[in-house]
Structure 1
Amino acid sequence: MTTTTHRIVVLGAGYTGLFAAVRLARRTRKLDVRITLVNPSARFTERLRMHQIAAGQELAHHDIPAILDGTGIQFVQGWATAIHPEARTVRVDGAGDLAYDELIYALGSATDTATVPGVADHAWTLNDPRVAHEFAGRLTELAAVGGTVAVCGAGLTGIEAATEIAESHPGLRVTLVGSGEPGAMMGEKARAYLNAALDRLGIQRAIGQRVTKVLPAAVELADGTLLAADLTLWTSGVRVAPLAAESGIAVDEHGLIVVDPTLTSVSHPTIHAIGDAAAVRQAWGAVHGTCQSGLPTAAYTADSIAARLRGKPVRPFRFGYFHQPVSLGRRDAVIQFTHADDSPRRLYLTGRPARIYKELVSSSPVPSVKASKKMTTTVQLSKGGKATRVRA
């Protein structure tokens, strides 16, 4: 039996998948379109705020079906286990095969626990809110006896986790471990402020060496040094879901779906990739996975699909970075403003103004998603200007 209904399946209900589905539902509300959103959990996970859960703070519970109420989107809870691009179907545990005319692939990334020995067995991650809650309980017990915590990874996630833990549990001894300098991507003054904040919170640093093994009560560094740690939180490295590669979709060396300038798969034009799942390039270079870049890819893809269904042309995706916001506990932050390629500008914010700014740009996305059911919301701070224009 043939159908004229255009079937769109969205895989993943994280920041990008949920936003893309809701925005697309509004954009196509007068068209014969059926949107299905697939996710393993019915609870929306705020990945950007997982470090707060790990430090012992409670976040609001958001139920995905409740967020979707009134949109007409069908929610299917289950794991997507296979994509058959030629047949245009997705197999979902417990739901069978879902047929699609277009697929939005929004399966994000997770912390890599397979590369360094011992991480999977002895370290904690911020991949799952249930695990983060359990970690928070262990922290409380450990703080009472003056225990030690190693946060491995000196990137933004590691910095935010270490400062949150140190501020919430002053009885702990916290060490930030990383091969690179904390705030290396920032300008000199913003980086100096960040390091002063780490000093103020009593956070020790083991910088300049990579971790070669995680043990039950220590981490081993490349020079053989054993750094004692009652608990190890691993925030270094990311991995993407292998589903795209296993399904025969063209991916790059990192497993990201290779897309054209309209974020459409170069091997399968009915598949669109957004957020951490897409290998997106601009004239200035490769886009790296952050919420700052992910939500614009979601909005763009929703808008471009709706435009094509109406027979309208679609312009290439353009994006430029605008800032690097970093929380330093609940009472402090540093904001480094950037050029389109994420290199630092001279302008930066610190202290209370930075904390207020950080809360504005990195607060829960749920209100914005709900608002997008009724209006077109703006999520892109910069399209990069001249830096994103392809030069002849």
Structure 2
Amino acid sequence: MNATNTMNTEYRLVVLGAGYTGMLAAIRLARRTRNRTVRITLVDPSARFTERLRMHQIATGQELAEYRIADILDGTGIEFVQGRATAIDAIAGRVTVDGTATLRYDELIYALGSGTDSSAIPGAAEHAWTLNDPRSAHRFAERLTVAEARGGAVAVCGAGLTGIEAATEIAEQHPGLRVTLVSSAEPGSMMGEKARAYLNRALDRLGITRAIGQRITKVLPDAVELADGTLIPADLTLTTTGVRVPPLAEESGIATDQRGRVVVDATLRSVSHPNIHAIGDAAAVRQPWGEIHGTCQSGMPTAAYVADAIVRRLRGKKVAPFRFGYIHQPVGLGRKDAVIQFTKADDTPGRFYLTGKAAVLYKETVSSSPVPIFGLSRRFAAVPVQPYKGGRATAHLA
């Protein structure tokens, strides 16, 4: 980009996706470019901001605060376009929204996130629920109430962090249901031995049955089938296994990996189209210790970094490579319990962990932090997103 030209002509920045990462990138850019001729447009299909960290709470019937995207952006100067990006012309610098409207851009931030891949297990698309959007989660919550009234059963497929949190919330909020956690891997397998033992005691306390060590071969209307032929009865099945990203980047000729994520360089720019930046779950980001996996913990720093990197380039300054390291694995075990495994930079377990009320407070702080960060980012130019263990914080880009 030519920094001099941006002083006299409008520079167009388009952000696709108003999740945690897209929202932070847009707001941080608006605050840091407010004295420049820069137009920022944020595109998302929903009028409401979705707290994906709390989707398992919605799925068990809990009422959460509602945030309208327009209200969050009020006063920032960001233009919000409600619609779905359906095509990107990466050569001409154009985004098509809902198949008709066209937005031109000088730089694009691709922040479309990811969701559970219901095609990963045969029958899941037809018979299983996911936590991919609030409307589906609300409908699942209604079905849980009906199933509990008749003493029914629920199967949760996948024992990763999302599966564990969903299973424990269901068991705590609906004690009349029989809940089974189904997975080929042990719950908490990413944690240290002591934290994992605490997690399993919590599952026992909540009466959650585990079906562990068998591959799930099929989801049926009223059961989950395992590789050995075992059937796990289930009035409702919730799947949290497998990750999919939107196919938009691949369909638009942008370089992607085998999972459809945008392949980026050390500064999170597309290797095929340098005026496109990818952040969060939709980006294939490598660090010296390995590849980042999609979480809010890693996504928010990518958003802050890209916003700051764009500003530095507009000022004609060099940009240091993105550096990140994980610090924790926070897992809610219902509303009254939690376990926090502190980690090394590569997300392998460290020596320390936290449990009980202190862990609940820690987890709630983590889950609620993105929205306050948006507010702070409207007022201050370089709000720290999280401590880094893999390198210097993005604050050094200010």
> Shared fold (TM-score greater than 0.5)?
yes
1:90-113 residue CA offsets vs partner (Å, 9 max, x unmatched): 000166111000000000001101
Q: 1:218 & 1:385 partners in 2: Cα distance?
A: 47
Aligned-pair distance for 1:117? 1.4
Q: 1:282 & 1:28 partners in 2: Cα distance?
A: 28
Contact 1:193 1:334 in 2 (8 A): yes
Q: 1:211 & 1:177 partners in 2: Cα distance?
A: 8
**TM-score, normalisation: structure 1:** 0.96
Q: Report the equivalent of 2:228.
A: 223
Q: Report the equivalent of 2:342.
A: 337
1:144 aligned to 127, 143, 149, which one?
149
Moved over 6 A (4+): none
Aligned-pair distance for 1:385? 4.5
Gaps of 5+ in 1: 387-392
Aligned-pair distance for 1:211? 1.0
Map 1:328-367 onto structure 2 (within 5 A). 328-363=333-368, 365-367=370-372
Contact 1:76 1:95 in 2 (8 A): no
Q: Which amino acid aligns with 2:73?
A: L
Q: Which amino acid aligns with 1:216?
A: P
Q: Report the equivalent of 1:93.
A: 98
1:121 aligned to 101, 117, 126, which one?
126
Q: Does 1:14 align with 2:19?
A: yes
Q: Report the equivalent of 1:281.
A: 286
Aligned pair count reads: 385
Q: Which amino acid aligns with 2:138?
A: H
Q: Which amino acid aligns with 1:196?
A: R
Q: Which amino acid aligns with 1:381?
A: P
Q: 1:105 & 1:128 partners in 2: Cα distance?
A: 19
Aligned-pair distance for 1:173? 0.4
Q: Report the equivalent of 1:183.
A: 188
Q: Report the equivalent of 2:385.
A: 379
Q: Report the equivalent of 1:270.
A: 275
Aligned-pair distance for 1:115? 2.4
**TM-score, normalisation: structure 2:** 0.95
Q: Which amino acid aligns with 1:231?
A: L
Aligned-pair distance for 1:66? 0.8
Map 1:217-256 onto structure 2 (within 5 A). 217-256=222-261
Q: Report the equivalent of 2:395.
A: none
1:201 aligned to 206, 211, 218, which one?
206
2:168 aligned to 163, 171, 180, which one?
163
Contact 2:327 2:389 in 1 (8 A): no
Contact 1:327 1:355 in 2 (8 A): yes
Q: 1:95 & 1:42 partners in 2: Cα distance?
A: 19
Q: Which amino acid aligns with 2:130?
A: T
Q: Which amino acid aligns with 1:279?
A: A
Q: Report the equivalent of 2:29.
A: 24
Contact 2:13 2:40 in 1 (8 A): yes
Aligned-pair distance for 1:378? 1.2
